[in-house]
């Protein structure tokens, strides 16, 4: 039938339920978001008329949209840096053999498996300026004179949220990074040592290239997941103070549900989606690892 | 290879720092949750609790709806686990064992779905659930959670499927087994760790989901833990004890789950990372 | 494969069908009540009253669904749109217009008139809900801000409770020591901040943000003065108060880290988490600037909205509301949070059920002062007999708070910030 073997047909049948599911729960909503973005609906459930690309024009010329985009970029870069660095160091440590290492390799992921609400509660409690333990330690050790309001200025709030998110996410990256590190054969390092290579040379010529497939995964997934982070920021700062932690997802939520401009938020979502799509496709094309084995997966 | 003293020292310091960063916050909220209110908000924090009281847990379990939230979250998470496995296992199998044409494109499409912010889907999914009369039901949450877990689940599974040598399947086929039988009796048992890791991933994704749960669920009786916890705390008074007890209890089920089957998830993640 | 697929579909259909059964059965009239009083003890008290009502009215079943202020502005319109709206929804005056725009809100003028004849509503409680030829909610309780402090702390610093802005500033400065902040003021983009900002606007003579014709007059000298004073006072507030909601302020007061806070009430927190000594809990009216003659404060007349047009449900809901306002029940209702909710009816303000609650007995002096202060209460958008429903879009976005943030976080001048605030408000109501 259709010139395809029975085997292939059965294969498609196996994939079909998943595809149908995703079509209904993602493709269809995406389509309706696009339609929504071409109207002027404000409160959900009210009537609206078609206004073509008006919403797009408004947002693409608005300061708020572009500053949020900028913040999202900084957010992604900040998180990427913090998480990759922390993951790398943690992976290096966990690669060693020591008593209890196997337990450590499993439980490192603790902060990733708890709900965001719990993460937020923990850190708001610990960073509070009246009774929080972090400030108490800082003041006791004489690092600062008075408690710091971690969320009271734009810069410190942004940095705090990035670090809290990194704390939550880096273990996930650590596991992946560790997997990559452990794949690099010990012999490579040994023969390099015999040739007189120092630590930096080993890192640059053995570790980095060996990690390339893993860094690819972390880079792609990590960026996408990071960009779309909403609940951590929303629950910690609500996008403030004074809008300084309002990244794109936060702006979209705020526009839809606090400013009651549903269509405008839909337009923002579409633009964001396109930006990310372009990023993802470019990233895959440029950074895709080249070996045979990896090709088969991607 | 023996470690030099200096290297050992660096290792110990590094590990201590890692341990500190990861574990101390949890130690802090757990020990604080058993203190009396006055000690919790005292300006001088006490590292070792000076008092002991289970009043917060008592209030949490008996005076609030928290047990209901726990029940709902558990049901939704288990259902999400089941449906995700049902959908993704055959799909990943077909894509990777059967080398379907177009699988690369299909795989990319599946992964690209992660490019879209969850928030993008919030409004249209809400309207959809609304027309299907699924607002305020746990089914709606299961549907949403599966959608978010499925793409990554497929990715996790494909790595495991690739570890099975084709010869096993070929000899089974020679013995007269059809595709379904091969899947059920050979592949699945061999990739049990992979399935376990997908199950855990789905469970955790579901357990921690906040955004959709807060909008799709209206009644107390269907609320899930993250939303319920945020609400119990109340914005009018911060009852820190209650809050910390809630945070501790919320963490517990995933801790237990992880203690039992956590290593499968880690090995799954590890395999997935390596294979792609 | 085929048959497996069909079986799965069948099972799913069966599950869905069973799930829908309850909706099809015949039942007593169901009334769902949404409110934003989520703390467990408040939920318990409401449930108590609901159970009594249900027992006395077997043909009606009332259910409560506590909601969250952070989510309700989203959820309520969405629920109305999806056909899942509750029959009864608690409201504050600037939340009501949003619901009214969606066309589901019932006009309760006659019902309120009948209740008025029986219980005598405080007029200022009904006014914020009466506009556009209708009354859109039934007032249920009042809340007003006061300044809370500890007399012992004042005595130790040698200061008297302040009544003017100069005195307030001096007091805050005198009370700020190494271990204590003189006053706790929020600067979060949130309702609590809006409220405290408005406390100062009222006391600067800037309580009107609308002109009689509905245009905005937010940008005026008095408003600028109010914000300038706030930012001066803010220097004596804890550094993380930029992130505060009501809860953090109360915690600060309870732990003695803050010497004063503006707040509806601290009684419950003070009693359960602090020393709970009624003789050392002071409450005064918000101090006034030199521009006004008497202190004022923000006051919210909280009400309940009727969102159903089904006659049977309307009748049942009205029965329930009347039940709540009966003096023997009303006091218990108000005391779900003792000292927070104040009566809006004359019969209520004299009800034993109100004054005999143990907590109210313990803190009687404070509650009496709170009621006194509330008589000078105002609400932005609903002042001096004028009501401007467009305020809803402004408070949904917490623009009053945003303007404050421009000043204390971004360092803008008060004039520029207020100007920007006016522009933001105009954009919001356009």
Q: Which span out of A162-171, B59-68, B160-169, C244-253 was modeled with the highest average pLDDT?
A: A162-171
- Give start and end residues of each alpha helix (H) in B162-224: 166-174, 179-182, 188-190, 192-208, 211-216
Quote the Cα angle for A62-A67-A69, to 5°.
100
Give the model's pLDDT for residue C23: 47
- Judged against a pLDDT cut of 70, whether residue A45 lies above it is answered with no
* Min Cα–Cα distance to chain A from C315, Å: 27
Other residues' Cβ atoms within 10 Å of the Cβ of residue A133 = 18
Give the model's pLDDT for residue C5: 52
Residue A20 lies in a domain: no
- Judged against a pLDDT cut of 60, whether residue B158 lies above it is answered with yes
Other residues' Cβ atoms within 10 Å of the Cβ of residue B68 = 16
pLDDT in tens, B213-223: 988 887 888 99
What is the overall mean pLDDT for chain B?
Answer: 81
Give the model's pLDDT for residue C221: 94
- Judged against a pLDDT cut of 70, whether residue C42 lies above it is answered with yes
What is the overall mean pLDDT for chain C?
Answer: 87
Question: CA of C104: how far to CAs of A269, C5, C112, in Å?
Answer: 30, 43, 18
Whole-prediction pTM: 0.82
> What is the C-alpha to C-alpha distance for residues C29 and B57, in angstroms, rounded to an integer?
36
pLDDT in tens, C354-382: 999 888 999 999 999 998 888 888 888 77
pLDDT in tens, C164-195: 999 999 999 999 998 899 999 999 888 899 99
Non-local (6+) Cβ contacts of B116 within 8 A are A26, A30, A228, A269, A273, A276
Determine the average pLDDT of the residues in C285-307: 91
A45 to C81: CB separation less than 8 angstroms, yes or no: yes
Per the structure, the count of domains in chain A is 1
* Min Cα–Cα distance to chain A from C163, Å: 27
C81 to A151: CB separation less than 8 angstroms, yes or no: no
Q: Which of B119, B230, B270 sits opposite A269 (nearest CB)?
A: B119
Domains C29-142+300-365 and C146-298+377-429 share a fold: yes
Both tokens of residue B167?
Answer: 């010869």
> What is the C-alpha to C-alpha distance for residues A162 and A160, in angstroms, rounded to an integer?
5
pLDDT in tens, A178-210: 888 887 888 888 888 888 878 788 888 888 888
The residue of chain B nearest to residue A213, with distances taken between CA atoms, is B276
The residue of chain C nearest to residue A236, with distances taken between CA atoms, is C243
Residue A3 lies in a domain: no
A130 to C98: CB separation less than 8 angstroms, yes or no: no
| Choice among A272-286, B255-269, C415-429 with the minimum mean pLDDT | B255-269
> What is the C-alpha to C-alpha distance for residues C141 and C50, in angstroms, rounded to an integer?
17
Closest C-alpha to B142, from B219, B86, B66: B86
Q: Which span out of A226-230, B94-98, C135-139 was modeled with the highest average pLDDT?
A: C135-139
- Whose tokens are 């004489």? That residue is A142
The length of chain C in residues reads 430
Residue A230 lies in a domain: yes
CATH topology of domain C146-298+377-429: D-Maltodextrin-Binding Protein; domain 2 (3.40.190)
Give the model's pLDDT for residue C1: 40
Calculate the CA C226 to chain-centre distance.
22
> What is the C-alpha to C-alpha distance for residues B77 and B60, in angstroms, rounded to an integer?
21
Residue A31 lies in a domain: no
Which residue out of A115, A137, A249, A270 would a mutagenesis test of the B interface target, given it has the greatest number of B Cβ atoms within 10 Å?
A115
Asked if B133 has any chain C CB less than 8 Å from its own CB, the reply is yes
Confirm if A80 and A222 have CB atoms less than 8 A apart: yes
Give the model's pLDDT for residue C390: 81
For chain C, give the percent of residues with pLDDT over 70.
Answer: 93
B100 to A8: CB separation less than 8 angstroms, yes or no: yes
Contacts of C250 in chain B (CB under 8 A): 236-238
Give the model's pLDDT for residue C9: 59
Contacts of A43 in chain C (CB under 8 A): 77, 81, 98, 101-102
Calculate the CA C36 to chain-centre distance.
9
Residue A117 lies in a domain: yes
> What is the C-alpha to C-alpha distance for residues C92 and C76, in angstroms, rounded to an integer?
13
* Min Cα–Cα distance to chain B from C248, Å: 6
* Dihedral of alpha carbons B121, B126, B132, B134, sign: positive
Q: Tell which wins on pLDDT, B156 or C46.
A: C46
Other residues' Cβ atoms within 10 Å of the Cβ of residue B64 = 25
The residue of chain B nearest to residue A33, with distances taken between CA atoms, is B124
Confirm if A84 and A218 have CB atoms less than 8 A apart: yes
Give the model's pLDDT for residue C125: 85
What is the overall mean pLDDT for chain A?
Answer: 84
Give the model's pLDDT for residue C25: 44
Residue A199 lies in a domain: yes
> What is the C-alpha to C-alpha distance for residues A165 and A148, in angstroms, rounded to an integer?
19
B270 to A228: CB separation less than 8 angstroms, yes or no: no
Contacts 24+ apart (CB under 8 A), C43-49: C43/B64, C43/B65, C44/B63, C44/C336, C45/C332, C45/C333, C45/C335, C45/C336, C46/C333, C46/C336, C48/C332, C49/C323, C49/C324, C49/C329, C49/C332, C49/C333
Both tokens of residue A63?
Answer: 């300061």
Chains that touch B (3 or more CB pairs under 8 A): A, C
Say what the ipTM of the complex is: 0.81
Q: How confident is the model at residue A211 (pLDDT cuts 50, 70, 90)?
A: confident
For chain B, give the percent of residues with pLDDT over 90.
Answer: 13
The length of chain B in residues reads 276
* Min Cα–Cα distance to chain A from B118, Å: 7
The residue of chain A nearest to residue B96, with distances taken between CA atoms, is A297
Q: What is the DSSP letter of B114?
A: G
Give the model's pLDDT for residue C420: 94
- Judged against a pLDDT cut of 70, whether residue C257 lies above it is answered with yes
* Min Cα–Cα distance to chain B from A154, Å: 23
Q: How confident is the model at residue B236 (pLDDT cuts 50, 70, 90)?
A: low
Confirm if A24 and B112 have CB atoms less than 8 A apart: no
C40 to B137: CB separation less than 8 angstroms, yes or no: no
Contacts of A163 in chain B (CB under 8 A): none
CATH topology of domain C29-142+300-365: D-Maltodextrin-Binding Protein; domain 2 (3.40.190)
Domain ranges of chain C: 29-142+300-365, 146-298+377-429
Determine the average pLDDT of the residues in B56-78: 88
- Judged against a pLDDT cut of 70, whether residue C24 lies above it is answered with no
Domain span at A85: 63-297
Contacts of B219 in chain C (CB under 8 A): 65
Q: How confident is the model at residue C114 (pLDDT cuts 50, 70, 90)?
A: very high
Closest C-alpha to A226, from A176, A173, A264: A173
**What dihedral angle (degrees, nearest 10) is formed by the CA atoms of B71, B73, B74, B77?**
160
A26 to B147: CB separation less than 8 angstroms, yes or no: yes
The separation between the first and the last C-alpha atoms of chain A, rounded to the nearest angstrom, is: 28
* Min Cα–Cα distance to chain B from A72, Å: 12
C239 to A258: CB separation less than 8 angstroms, yes or no: no
Instruction: Give the 3-state secondary structure of residue A1.
Output: coil
Both tokens of residue C126?
Answer: 């009904």
pLDDT in tens, A70-121: 999 999 999 999 999 999 999 988 888 888 888 888 888 888 888 888 888 8
Read off the CATH number of the domain in which A213 is found: 1.10.3720.10
Interface of B with C in 201-240 (CB under 8 A): 214-215, 218-220, 230-240
For chain B, give the percent of residues with pLDDT over 70.
Answer: 89
Q: Tell which wins on pLDDT, B107 or C104.
A: C104
| Chain A interface with C: residues with Cβ < 8 Å | 10, 13, 43-46, 124, 127-131, 146-154, 237-244, 257-260
Give the model's pLDDT for residue A295: 41
Q: What DSSP letter does each residue of C30-63 carry, written as one string?
A: EEEEEES--SHHHHHHHHHHHHHHHHH-TTEEEE
Confirm if C420 and C403 have CB atoms less than 8 A apart: yes
Chains that touch A (3 or more CB pairs under 8 A): B, C
Main-chain dihedrals φ then ψ at residue B99, nearest 5 degrees? 45, 55
Asked if A43 has any chain B CB less than 8 Å from its own CB, the reply is no
């Amino acid at each position: 039938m259709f010139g395809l073997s029975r085997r292939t047909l059965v294969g498609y049948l196996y994939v079909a339920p998943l595809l149908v599911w995703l079509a209904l729960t993602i493709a269809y909503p995406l389509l309706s978001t696009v339609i929504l973005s071409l109207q002027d609906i404000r409160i959900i459930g009210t009537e609206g008329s078609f206004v073509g690309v008006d919403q797009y024009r408004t947002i693409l010329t608005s300061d708020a949209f572009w500053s949020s985009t900028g913040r999202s970029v900084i957010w992604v870069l900040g998180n990427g840096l913090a998480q990759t660095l922390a993951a790398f160091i943690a992976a290096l440590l966990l690669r060693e053999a020591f008593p209890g290492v196997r337990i450590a390799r499993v439980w490192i992921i603790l902060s990733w498996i708890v709900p965001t609400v719990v993460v937020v509660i923990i850190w708001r409690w610990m960073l509070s300026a009246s009774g929080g333990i972090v400030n108490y330690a800082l003041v006791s050790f004489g690092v600062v004179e008075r408690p710091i309001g971690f969320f009271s200025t734009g810069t410190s709030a942004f940095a705090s949220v990035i670090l809290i998110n990194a704390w939550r996410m880096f273990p996930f990256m650590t596991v992946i990074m560790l997997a990559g590190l452990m794949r690099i054969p010990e012999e490579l390092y040994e023969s390099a040592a015999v040739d007189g290579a120092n630590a930096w040379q080993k890192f640059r010529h053995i570790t980095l290239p060996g990690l390339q497939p893993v860094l690819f995964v972390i880079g792609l997934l990590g960026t996408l997941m990071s960009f779309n982070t909403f609940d951590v920021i929303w629950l910690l700062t609500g996008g403030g103070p004074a809008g300084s932690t309002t990244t794109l997802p936060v702006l979209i939520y705020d526009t839809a549900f606090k400013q009651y401009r549903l269509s405008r938020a839909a337009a923002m979502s579409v633009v964001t989606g396109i930006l990310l799509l372009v990023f993802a496709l470019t990233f895959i094309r440029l950074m895709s690892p080249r070996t045979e084995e990896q090709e088969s997966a991607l | 290879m023996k470690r030099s003293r200096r290297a050992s020292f660096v290792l110990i310091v590094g590990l201590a720092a890692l341990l500190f960063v990861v574990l101390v916050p949890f130690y802090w909220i757990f020990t604080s949750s058993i203190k009396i209110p006055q000690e919790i908000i005292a300006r001088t924090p006490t590292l070792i609790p000076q008092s002991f009281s289970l009043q917060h847990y008592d209030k949490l379990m008996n005076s609030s709806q928290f047990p209901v939230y726990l029940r709902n979250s558990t049901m939704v998470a288990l259902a999400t686990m089941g449906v995700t496995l049902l959908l993704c296992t055959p799909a990943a199998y077909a894509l990777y064992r059967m080398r379907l044409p177009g699988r690369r494109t299909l795989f990319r499409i599946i992964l690209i779905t992660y490019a879209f912010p969850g928030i993008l889907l919030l409004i249209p999914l809400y309207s959809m659930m609304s027309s299907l009369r699924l607002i305020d039901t746990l089914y709606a949450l299961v549907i949403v959670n599966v959608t978010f877990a499925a793409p990554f689940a497929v990715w996790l599974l494909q790595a495991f499927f690739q570890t099975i040598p084709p010869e096993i399947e070929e000899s089974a086929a020679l013995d007269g087994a059809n595709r379904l039988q091969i899947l059920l009796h050979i592949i699945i048992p061999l990739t049990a760790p992979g399935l376990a890791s997908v199950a855990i991933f789905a469970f955790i994704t579901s357990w921690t989901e906040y955004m959709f749960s807060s909008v799709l669920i209206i009644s107390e009786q269907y609320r899930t833990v993250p939303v319920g916890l945020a609400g119990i705390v109340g914005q009018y008074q911060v009852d820190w004890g209650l809050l910390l007890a809630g945070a501790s209890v919320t963490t517990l089920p995933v801790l237990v789950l992880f203690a039992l089957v956590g290593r499968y998830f880690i090995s799954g993640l590890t395999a997935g990372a390596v294979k792609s | 494969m085929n048959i497996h697929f069909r079986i799965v579909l069948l099972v799913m259909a069966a599950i869905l069908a069973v799930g829908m059964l309850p909706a099809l059965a015949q039942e007593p009239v169901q009334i769902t009540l949404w409110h934003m009083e989520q703390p467990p003890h408040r939920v318990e008290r409401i449930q108590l009253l609901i159970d009594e009502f249900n027992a006395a009215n077997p043909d009606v079943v009332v259910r409560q669904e506590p909601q969250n202020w952070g989510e309700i502005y989203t959820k309520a319109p969405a629920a109305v749109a999806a056909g899942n709206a509750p029959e009864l929804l608690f409201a504050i005056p600037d939340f009501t217009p949003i619901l009214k725009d969606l066309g589901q809100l019932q006009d309760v003028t006659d019902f309120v008139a009948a209740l008025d004849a029986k219980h005598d509503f405080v007029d200022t409680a009904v006014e914020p809900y009466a506009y556009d030829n209708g009354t859109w909610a039934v007032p249920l309780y009042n809340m007003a801000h006061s300044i809370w402090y500890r007399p012992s702390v004042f005595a130790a610093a040698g200061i008297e409770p302040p009544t003017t802005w100069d005195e307030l500033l001096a007091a805050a400065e005198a009370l700020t020591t190494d271990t204590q902040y003189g006053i706790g003021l929020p600067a979060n983009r949130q309702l609590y901040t809006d409220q405290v900002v408005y406390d100062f606007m009222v006391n600067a003579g800037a309580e009107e943000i609308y002109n009689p014709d509905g245009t905005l007059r937010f940008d005026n000298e008095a408003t600028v003065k109010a914000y300038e004073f706030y930012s001066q006072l803010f220097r004596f507030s804890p550094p993380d108060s930029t992130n505060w909601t009501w809860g953090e302020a109360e915690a600060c007061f309870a732990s003695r880290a803050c010497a004063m806070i503006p707040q509806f009430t601290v009684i419950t927190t003070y009693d359960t988490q602090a020393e709970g000594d009624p003789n050392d809990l002071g409450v005064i009216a918000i101090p006034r600037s030199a521009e006004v003659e008497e202190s004022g404060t923000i006051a919210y007349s909280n009400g309940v909205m009727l969102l159903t047009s089904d006659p049977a449900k309307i009748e049942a809901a009205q029965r329930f509301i009347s039940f709540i306002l009966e003096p023997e029940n009303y006091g218990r209702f108000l005391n779900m949070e003792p000292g927070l909710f104040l009566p809006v009816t004359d019969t209520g303000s004299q009800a034993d059920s109100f004054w005999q609650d143990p907590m109210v007995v313990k803190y009687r002096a404070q509650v009496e002062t709170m009621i006194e202060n509330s008589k000078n209460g105002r609400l932005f958008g609903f002042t001096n007999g004028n009501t401007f429903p467009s305020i809803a879009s402004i408070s949904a976005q917490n623009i009053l708070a945003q303007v404050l943030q421009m000043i204390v976080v971004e360092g803008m001048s008060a004039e520029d910030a207020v100007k920007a605030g006016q522009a933001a408000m105009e954009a919001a109501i356009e």
